[in-house]
Amino acid sequence: MKITAAKVIVTCPGRNFVTLKIETDQGVYGIGDGTLNGRELSVVAYLQEHVVPCLIGMDPRRIEDIWQYLYRGAYWRRGPVTMRAIAAVDVALWDIKAKMANMPLYDLLGGKSREGVMVYGHANGTDIAETVDAVGHYIDMGYKAIRAQTGIPGVEGVYGVGRGKLYYEPADAALPSLMGWDTRKALNYIPKLFEKIRDTYGFDRHLLHDGHHRYTPLEAANLGRLLEPYQLFWLEDCTPAENQEAFKLVRQHTTTPLAVGEIFNTIWDVKDLIQNQLIDYIRMTIVGSGGVTHLRRVADLASLYQVRTGCHGATDLSPVTMGTALHFDTWVPNFGIQEYMRHTPETDAVFPHTYFFEDGLLYPGDSVGHGVDIDEAEAAKYPYKPAYLPVARLEDGTMWNW
Ligand SMILES: O=C(O)[C@@H](O)[C@H](O)[C@H](O)CO
Ligand SMILES: [Mg+2]
């Protein structure tokens, strides 16, 4: 069996997605996602110029060998661009293998470990009242887990708060838009949000919060303690994790569960956090972390330490990643939760898929492969549009972490 063609498709049905379609001499094809939000064309060039020429003629059944070829063969290891390009190939190859085996991908991975995948949605508001209201909407939709983010009085454009209460779009400007940050005000305001949510809706549902790398380790420890009475499912990205040891200090001071990893690319970025039992959930997902082949390795390491998965699932990951992640989530023994932001109807039309939401859970569907395709005619209607993630500055102008 041979790979005969591989093409990169860029489309912008509301936001940019980079998709790889691998074709074979058996007529079976596979689809992979290589989207890197705000830096999309770097992966396009990496794939088109440097990966596709190597793939032609290779045996698509040799997923592991091709993974090692691309990883070791690049010589320059790791990083978001390389690992997304590898992920795009890897996912397309798993799609092909599952189609050849006439199985849904979760069956090929080892079969179902659960019936459905618990997801969390994003409730946002410009202040506490609006966010509490948005949480109510998610409860009405049947969600069992909800992430709550609020604007902070006196701070311009806080992370996670966008247009409308149910939806925020993390990249939409030709140049990066500017947001503000003030840790003192946040530490004063955010615990009040969770107090109000618990007072209003009780303790039966899971609540999550994303710190988006804003706090120092000591401030993060403080936030974790302040949130303890509200029994969060997790506090995400409470402090930057380039220095994995930073989490020791947070961990020693709070029992609020910790999640990290949406910006990690390899097992090396997370191994100290896992082995030292400094986190509870690992946020890496298919597209960011070298595909199914590598994420499976991360999940296995995590399982030794009772760390569970919590795959990233913002709208900047294409439906191809969402579908593949749902197969992974359905199989992985140490599953925790899956993030789920809904795509636009235009995006859903470009990427026909079998996954569906019901009663707070997502299901991957039972068709063969990962269940997500690309409608190329539909995709061609939406040409690439430059878009950036926002940037953040403190009140005095100092650059901060968005
Ligand atoms: O946890 C999340 O969904 C966010 O951190 C987003 O991934 C981020 O805004 C980039 O899209
Ligand atoms: Mg996040």
Residues involved in catalysis: 159, 212
Residue 280 phi, psi dihedral angles, 5° rounding: -110, -25
Q: Is 147 in the pocket of ligand 1 (CB under 6 A)?
A: no
Ligand 1 close to Cβ of residue 262 (< 6 A) = yes
Q: Is the CB of 263 under 6 A from ligand 1?
A: no
Which of 212, 237, 322 to mutate to test ligand 1, by most ligand atoms within 8 A of the CB atom?
212
- In 3D, which of 261, 260, 259 has the Cα closest to residue 232? 259
What pLDDT is attached to residue 173?
A: 75
| Model pLDDT, residue 166 | 52
- Facing residues of 400 across strands? 392
Query: Cβ distance 235 to 256 under 8 Å?
Result: yes
Q: What is the pLDDT of residue 168?
A: 63
User: What CATH number should be reported for the domain whose range is 109-370?
Assistant: 3.20.20.120
Residue 253 CA to ligand 2 centre (angstroms): 22
Tell me the mean pLDDT per 10 residues along the chain, length 402: 98 96 98 97 98 98 98 96 98 98 98 98 95 97 97 86 60 83 97 98 98 97 98 98 96 98 97 98 97 98 98 96 98 98 96 98 98 98 94 95 93
What residue owns the CA closest to ligand 1's atom 9? Answer: 170
- Which residue's CA is minimally distant from atom 5 of ligand 1? 212
Judged by DSSP in three states, 7 sits in strand
What is the Å distance from ligand 2's center to 377 Cα? 33
ipTM for the predicted complex comes to 0.96
Class of the CATH domain delimited by 3-104: alpha beta
Per-residue confidence (pLDDT) for residue 177, from 0 to 100: 87
Tokens of 15: 């936001």
Q: Are 337 and 310 in contact (CB under 8 A)?
A: yes
Q: Is residue 35 within 8 Å of residue 321, measured between CB atoms?
A: yes
Closest ligand, as measured to the CA of 238: 2
CA–CA distance, 14 with 346 (Å, rounded to integer): 7
pLDDT of residue 163: 52
DSSP secondary structure code for residue 342 in this structure: P
State which amino acid sits at residue 109. L
- Whose structure tokens read 């499912």? 233
pTM of the model: 0.97
Mapped onto helix, strand or coil, the DSSP state of residue 2 is: coil
Residue of 147, 168, 210, 341 best suited for mutating to test ligand 1, as the one with most atoms within 8 Å of CB: 210
Per-residue model confidence (pLDDT) at position 11: 98
Tell me the best of 16, 169, 262 to mutate to test the pocket of ligand 1, counting ligand atoms within 8 Å of each CB and taking the most. Answer: 262
HEC per residue, 18-56 = EEEEEEECCCCEEEEECCCCCCHHHHHHHHHHHHHHHHC
Residue 160's pLDDT is 78
Instruction: Show the beta-strand stretches assigned E in 135-177.
Output: 145-150
**91 Cα–ligand 2 center, Å:** 23
Domain boundaries, the chain: 3-104, 109-370
Distance set, CA 311 to CA 29, 291, 346 (Å): 26, 12, 24
145: left (phi over 0), alpha (psi -120 to 50) or beta: beta
